[in-house]
Amino acid sequence: MFIVVTGAAGFIGANLVRTLNERGERDVIAVDRLDGSDKFRNLVDCEIADYLDADEFLARIENGDFDGEIAAVLHQGACSDTMERDSAFMMRNNYRYSTRLLEHCQNDDVPFLYASSAAVYGGGTSFAESRANEDPLNAYAYSKFLFDQLVRRTLPERSAPIAGFRYFNVYGPREAHKGRMASVMWHFFHQFRGGGRVKLFEGTGGIANGEQRRDFVSIEDVVRVNLDFLDHPQRSGIFNLGSGRAETYNAVAAAVVNAVRAAEGSPAESVESLVREGAITYIPFPAALAGRYQNYTQADLTRLRAAGYTAPTLTLDEGVRRYVEWLMAHERA
């Protein structure tokens, strides 16, 4: 029996494949769209049974080629570019593809775990998994929102487990290929290593410089939750997956800079000291993000905890420290 990971060469997918390998799983089918990208490097140290292009995989499962041979599908594949303006592409790639895959999994009694997104909440300040809190601001968020609605309609009559995870701001190893869509941790690390300073957005709408707050969650926690649900197929539903804490960009920048400083044998410094020294600087808020930017997110983990996942998430300082150490050991990443 195979475990299928879609988006397998991507950030979250590759970390899932690697951790499945560490658990002894080798019968993993990696599904993705490489399209000239060098993200295949994320899979070089992984063991897989086969690689299939996303469209080929969908055609083959709909043809019955894998009937009775798939133990579970971990569906991470999607275009996650919040600046993508081609809404038709977003709907084909994120919504329609996911719909067809879900239909197959239900017809063949295959557990289906998938990536949703905290982007469905838009500019709101309430982050419980309720329709009343959802107000997507861009095509990416809408594609995730619409699929979640389909899942909600399917859950009462499901024939196999379905678990969707609304990822908040995920950071960690194997995200370099995302470029401008990589986490702020990745960008801050390379800015500081390359020029001795990190660049944060100035405040807007009464928010002070660098005081926008987001829920940042380590890829380690994201993988742990996915695999815990894989191990407990009695769980179904849509769940927030974050740290449960809202951290300022100033705090993130300081965590990255101080992690680098610690690795180089220097003491930690406060945000204020780092600003005075020029290690933290502020740039104008991009006009292109006006009305499309979440100034605040904080995952409500009540439903996740009630489902039975009780492990604590990594703190910001610990998660960033681990990530910075990995980045320094993989400078080419």
What amino acid positions are annotated as catalytic residues?
A: 140, 178
- Output helix, strand, coil percentages for the chain, rounded to the nearest 5: 45, 15, 40
Cα separation, 178 vs 200, in Å, equals 19
Cα separation, 182 vs 175, in Å, equals 6
Cα separation, 186 vs 20, in Å, equals 24
Give the contacts of 140 (CB within 8 A, at least 6 positions apart): 78, 79, 80, 81, 82, 84, 90, 94, 117, 119
CA 19 to chain centre: 16
Cα separation, 243 vs 313, in Å, equals 6
Sign of CA dihedral 85, 88, 89, 90: positive
Cα separation, 217 vs 231, in Å, equals 21
Cα separation, 325 vs 319, in Å, equals 10
Give the contacts of 317 (CB within 8 A, at least 6 positions apart): 255, 259
Cα separation, 165 vs 115, in Å, equals 5
Cα separation, 173 vs 193, in Å, equals 17
DSSP state string for 140-165: HHHHHHHHHHHHHHHGGG-SS-EEEE
